[in-house]
Amino acid sequence: MGGAGIAASADEPWIGRFEGTGRACSGVLSMEATVLSWRWQYGDCRARHYEVLDATREQGAPRLVARLPRPRGARCPYEVIELERADTYAWNVTGFPSLEAYEKRGVPAWRDSPLPSRYVLSCLMTKVR
Residue-range domain boundaries for the chain: 16-127
Please report, for residues 65, 72, 126, the alpha-carbon distance to residue 91 in angstroms, rounded to integers and kept in the order given.
13, 24, 6
pLDDT at residue 74, as a whole number:
78
pLDDT score of 124: 94
Q: Model pTM?
A: 0.85
Based on its alpha-carbon atoms, the radius of gyration of the chain, rounded to whole angstroms, reads 14
Per-residue model confidence (pLDDT) at position 3: 44
- DSSP run (H or E) holding 109: helix 108-111
pLDDT digits (tens, 9 = 90+) for 54-84: 998 767 789 999 999 876 677 889 999 999 9
How many Å from the N-terminal Cα to the C-terminal Cα in the chain? 29
Q: Are 92 and 124 in contact (CB under 8 A)?
A: yes
Note the pLDDT of residue 4: 46
In this structure, which topology does domain 16-127 adopt according to CATH?
Answer: Lipocalin (2.40.128)
List the alpha helices (DSSP H) in 20-107.
Answer: 99-103
Residues of the chain with pLDDT under 70: 1-11, 58, 71-72
Q: What are phi and psi of 12, to 5 degrees?
A: -75, 150
